[in-house]
Structures are given as structure tokens and as C-alpha cells.
Amino acid sequence: MPAPPSPTLSELFAAHPRDGGWAGFLLAQVEGTKPMLWIQDRMAILEAGRVHPPGLPNRDFIHVEARDAKDALWAMEEGLRCAALSCVIGELWGDPKVIDFTATRRLAVASERSGVAAFLIRLGGHANLSGARMRWRIASAPSLPNSLDPRASGVPAWDVELFRARGIPPGRWRISHEADRFHLVAGTGDRALGEDRRLRA
């Protein structure tokens, strides 16, 4: 799976507003040795729920509840000035007018200057013009078989589409994450993708 050569702004769109699979895909890429800044605007909290710290692999994080998208974007840009963070996550609902090319370009530049990865989560939003370097659509997929109990859930999996990236061709993959690595997963009747083919996180 393609990955940016250095920290930048990635934009993630949930395949469905109620599909939370994007969170697992995102958190699998976050460095666990530094705290992360997670910002949610009010509508994202009302529609999708507040971040639940016990469910995070890295509980060393700062949560900000922003009044609206404008405040959330401001908080993201301010957070990206702090090199002590592992990443800055902005979770926004819908298509606020303030989420435009200029605003996203500012986030991308701030991320690249500080070396802190930025993730803009667009719940219920549309892929309008953006300055994000990588743009993803994420959907939950059936988990992999559990080798110990066939009735239990296995390793989580996602259907991911990279529909825009600077210098990287677009593509679609079904992936899982295990042992700190992304792996390609063969779909039903698809033997072209072996389980041993590994992806870069």
C-alpha cells in the first residue's frame, strides 16, 4: 500500500457515515511513542460519537472538542506546530464551506514543516477540491478467519481506495493489519493477492 515518504496531510472519507472502519486503518499508522492530538467538531461528536480512550492502542492523547469546523481547522494547524506530537487528527462532519483548498493546503504545509502527520477525517463529506497529499475512501471488510475459533472474529480488514495522491497512481486494495504490518488480503475467488504480500504502513 502506498505511503507518503514523509509526514503530510492525508484525507480519509468513510464509505458510509456510520462506518467506523477508518479509525482502525488510521490508528494502525500512528506512532505509539508520542502523544496524539485528536480534534472533533461538535457535529462529528453528535453524529458519530466521542473518542473512547480505552479503545485506543495509544492512550497518551489530547482530545479537543471544537465548536465547529472553523475552530477544528484552527486547532489542527496550531497542533501541527508541536513536533512533540505523533500526529494531529481532525474529525469533521459534512461539507462545511471552510474546508476548501486553501485550508487543506495550509494543513499540508504545516504538517510537512513540522514533520507531524495530519489526518483529516471527513464523515458524511464529499471529495471536493483539496490540498491533501493523499485521499482515501475506507470501508470495513469482513475480518479474517480466526485460526483458534472459527466462530470468533479474526484480524480486522478494510477495503481501501486511494483515489488521489501526489506522484502515486490510484488503486484499491483489501488489507489487514497484523504484527505492525499491513497485508494484502485476497478477496473471494481472488487468488492473485497472496497473504504473504506485505504493504508498507
Pick the closest to residue 121 from 43, 59, 198 (CA basis).
43
pLDDT in tens, 103-147: 999 999 999 999 999 999 999 999 999 999 999 999 999 888 888
- Report in angstroms the alpha-carbon separations of 128 from 97, 100, 104, 163, 164: 11, 8, 11, 12, 12
Q: Which stretch, 4-8, 135-139, 143-147, 166-170, has highest mean pLDDT? A: 135-139
**What are the cell numbers at 28?**
494502525
What is the reported pTM? Answer: 0.86
In this structure, are residues 90 and 121 in contact, taking their beta carbons and an 8 Å threshold? yes
Report the distance separating Cα 13 and Cα 25, nearest Å: 12
